[in-house]
Structure formats: structure tokens, C-alpha cells
Amino acid sequence: MAHCRSGGGFGLRCLLSSLLLVSAFASTATAGFSVHHSPITGEVVKFFGERPSTDNSTVKSNSTTTARYLPPPSKDAWYVPPAGWESAKPGAVLRTRAHAYPTLNIRNAIDTFQVLYRTTDSRNNASWSVGTVFIPKSHANCVLNTTSPAYNASACAHGLVTYEVPSDSADPDAAPSYLLQMREPYGEMRDMLARGWFVLVPDYEGPGASFCAGVQAGHATLDATRAVLSLAGPQLGLRMDRIKVGLWGYSGGAFAAEFAAELAEFYAPELKIDASVIGGSSPNLTTVDERMNAKDTAGLVVTSILGITVQQPSAREFLLNQLHPTGPYNKTAFMNATTMTGADALDAYSGQNVFDYFVNGREDWTNHAMQDVINEDAVMGLHGVPRMPSFYYKAANDEMSPVNETAEIVESFCKQGANILFHRNTLGGHNDELWSGRLRALDYLSMMLDGVEVTGSNLTIPATGCATVDVTIPLDPLYLLPDWWWTEGPGAGLGLAGAG
């Protein structure tokens, strides 16, 4: 049952919690929802699909004009790496931008900072990407200079979470560093910032928007963390003497976090990561695409096929040659996804059989030209073993990816010495577990980054080795819903703004 807190609006809050629980399970019982769906109505919500306005000027009191939002990456000169960047080491800082966002729309953040850094793509070629750091309000009184009369190290943050937003897009102008100016999708960033952690969000798809390119995503995640840690002490005031680092991602975000955890030991052996949290993981893209096709999630099949071929010229050539030139399912309609956010693609291709775009139907998708790159770059468990303590959580009835596929890679990692707690939630599906798992994910990070003992979260963490636990956690999104839900979504006008 939903937990009802005391205080004003007790009856209304309890009633809403019960209604949300019933309506969410009623809607998810009949469809395969991605995490871009409202937990209340089941409808696609473009909370991470809306782009900042291009007509965004505002006038300050001194009559000087400033932009409310940064321009998209393709029109922002800051995203162009400096000459000679290829020779820099992975994780090297190429450029920084302090006070990055002119308008900050995420609660509990006091400022933003961006870093352009060198990384490595899936083919081991030099690449670059961008990381955006959100600084918590609790950090406002931090002064680390010991010669300053205002010295106050106790106010300085010591936790950094590299957080993977599931952007699910094959459009470089839908990168998190740009879209997060409008709002955050789920409220997870708000909650991490409330706990006093720095939140680093990498554009892990890289400059070409290589959605579902796992090695690219893992490299970009690790190099973003390297880059930020190299300057976080002197420039951002992070307590490097007590620094603790975590990784966290759900669904598409878990794709990046999990590959980073696998690759860390060999790609970034000097980087100490204290915890990884992997929610709703999709260990095999082939299985996931089969399950998402011809449903409301079909748009993610399109963006995954485009994303996985960005760095693979032969596969992209094969793809282009096998798309119908004319007809209702044609090449132009398919390639339009390269200018869509993930939410827009869900809307545009909802219910379509994506294989209808191919000359030979599903046979073209299963052709070795396509499957070889998927097997090389979009299958988990093949690139290393997570050596940091890890928390995996997934719905036992996840309709996008079989829970057994995650159980298999967890078992494999455990046989190789990993330290993992794996929760299988017997209630709900993929979309539900996003919300149901959040408090456990946050509590796990608190235990690992802050040394806080948490009770009542079913988090009995094995000191060594692994534990797989079946839990029964109901969906209760009332206190988890992001701020946009109360201000501009279905909860607007209910007088519960900030209840999340």
C-alpha cells in the first residue's frame, strides 16, 4: 500500500497515492512502456523531448539582453574542440564553461558547470564529449581555502554521482547537456542534489549521437568522470580528500552506466569508483528491439538502429541500401528520427512494425551486417567485470528486457569475484520499477558515498560476493514525481507542488 505521510492534505495525498497506484498498474498491464511514459496515465510525456525555445532572449533590468537558454550543440561554438585535441589523453579537459546554464530549472541546484573532454569511441578512435555538472544548494557556503576567514570545509560536498539520463535519441541536438536546460525527466537529479552530491551528466552518446553504442557510452562516462575530478577540487570546491564517486542509470541510462562499470578496470584503472547502480538494464539489444517493435516503444527500435550504426560505416551503408525508397515506410521517414528527441521518436513511430521499412523485412535486421555490430557494441557482460560494489534492480516482469538476461550477467560477474546486490521486484514492469526503485537506489548510494546506514530499504548489502533478493515493492509515485508533473503536467492545479 502507498505510504501516507502526516501533515497538511493528508486525506488528499493518501487518496491520490491510492489512485495513482491503481491507475498506473492498470495502464502498464496492457502495454510495453518505456520510461518516457507517465506513471499515471501511461501516455508518452515529452518531459525530456521539449527543446529550449530558439526565441529565448530576455531583457535584464540594466537593459542589456541575454539569452535564457544555450543554443543547440550544432549551433554552439563552445562544442567545437580546439585544434590538436586528438593528441590529448582520454579524460583530458579541453574546455570549460562556468555558470553554464543561463536559466536553471532543476530544484536543489545552485549552479552548473560544463566540461568538454577527450574520450574514445567504440572503434577506439579519438573522440570528444561534454559533461554537465549540477552543484547542490548545500554547497553554497563551501570555502576550502584554509587561509580564508570564511573557511568552511564542512559545507563542501564530497560525493559525485555520474548520472546517465536515458536520452534514447539519434539526434546530436538532443544531448542531455542541451535538453536539461528545460527540466529533468524523473526527479532523480533533484533528489540527489538534495542529498548534497554533485551530479555529473555526460553526453555519453558522443558527438554523433551513437545511441546504444555501449563501448562509446562506457568510455564517455568514465572520461567525463576523469575530467571533472581533475578540476573539481580547485575550481568547484569538491572535497577531494574525502571524495566518493558513484554511477547511476536506469534503462537507456543503465546501458551507459553498466558498460562504464564493465570497462572501468581496464580503460580507467586509476579511477576509483565507489558504487554503481544499474536499474532496468537491457543486456542484449537484439532481445530488447524484438520486444519493443510494433508497440508504443517502436520509436526506440528506430533510434537504436540508427545509433548503433553511427560509427559503423559498413553497417550504415547496408542500412541505407535496405530501406524502401518509396511507400508508406520509406527511407526518408526512417531517417527523420535523426532529428528527433527520444520522446518525439516514440510518438512518431508508435505501434509501427519497424521491419516494414526494410526491403527484406526482418531478414535485413537479422543480417550479419547489422547483428555483428550489435553483438560487438550492444551486449553486456563481454567487456570486463565491475570491480566496484554494485546494486542492480529490475522488475521480474520487465516487458522490455527479460529479467533472466540480467540475472545471467550478474551470475557471471559474481563467479568472477564481483560484489553485487540484485533486487528483482515481483510487482510492476519496466516503467514502474523506474519509480519503485528510486528510493532504494538513493539509499544504496547514501550508504556507499556517505557511510549512512539505511534501515527499511531491503538493502542488506553483502560485504563480499553477491546476493539476489526477490522484493515486493509497490508503485507509489506521489512523492517521487518530478517537479514538472505538478507545475505543468497532470498534477498542475492540485496544490501539491513540491510533493515530489
pLDDT at position 221 over 90? yes
pLDDT of residue 62: 56
Following DSSP, what letter does each residue of 360-388 receive, concatenated?
A: TTHHHHTSHHHHHHHHHHSBTTSS----S
pLDDT at position 485 over 80? no
pLDDT of residue 8: 38
pLDDT over 90 for what percent of the chain? 73
pLDDT of residue 64: 62
The domain locations on the chain are 57-283+380-487, 286-377
d(CA 217, CA 167): 12
Of 15-29, 160-174, 399-413, 485-499, least confident by mean pLDDT is 15-29
pLDDT of residue 454: 78
Of residues 498 and 484, more confidently modeled? 484
The mean predicted confidence, pLDDT, of the chain is: 88
pLDDT of residue 2: 36
Of residues 63 and 396, more confidently modeled? 396
Annotated catalytic sites, by residue? 251, 398, 430
Residue 43 CA to chain centroid, in angstroms?
20
pLDDT of residue 30: 36
pLDDT of residue 48: 73
Per residue in 247-300, pLDDT (tens digit) is 999 999 999 999 999 999 999 999 999 999 999 999 999 999 999 999 999 999
Per residue in 348-377, pLDDT (tens digit) is 999 999 999 999 999 999 999 999 999 999
Burial 79-90 (b: 16+ CB within 10 A, else e): bebeeebeebeb
C-alpha distances in Å from residue 365, one per residue of 151, 170, 320, 325, 368: 60, 18, 12, 17, 8
- The amino acid that residue 308 corresponds to is I
pLDDT of residue 24: 40
Domain range 286-377, CATH architecture: Orthogonal Bundle (1.10)
Residues 466-483: what's their mean pLDDT?
Answer: 85
pLDDT tier, 28 (very low <50, low <70, confident <90, very high otherwise): very low
pLDDT of residue 57: 66
pLDDT tier, 499 (very low <50, low <70, confident <90, very high otherwise): very low
pLDDT at position 317 over 80? yes
368-377 and 214-231 helices, crossing angle to 10°? 30
Tell the residue number behind the cell numbers 531491503, with chain if given: 458
pLDDT tier, 19 (very low <50, low <70, confident <90, very high otherwise): very low
Give CATH for domain 57-283+380-487. 3.40.50.1820
Per residue in 230-259, pLDDT (tens digit) is 998 878 889 999 999 999 999 999 999 999
pLDDT of residue 428: 92
Per residue in 87-99, pLDDT (tens digit) is 999 999 999 999 9
pLDDT of residue 444: 96
Of residues 487 and 181, more confidently modeled? 181
pLDDT of residue 471: 95
pLDDT at position 343 over 60? yes
pLDDT of residue 6: 36
pLDDT of residue 60: 59
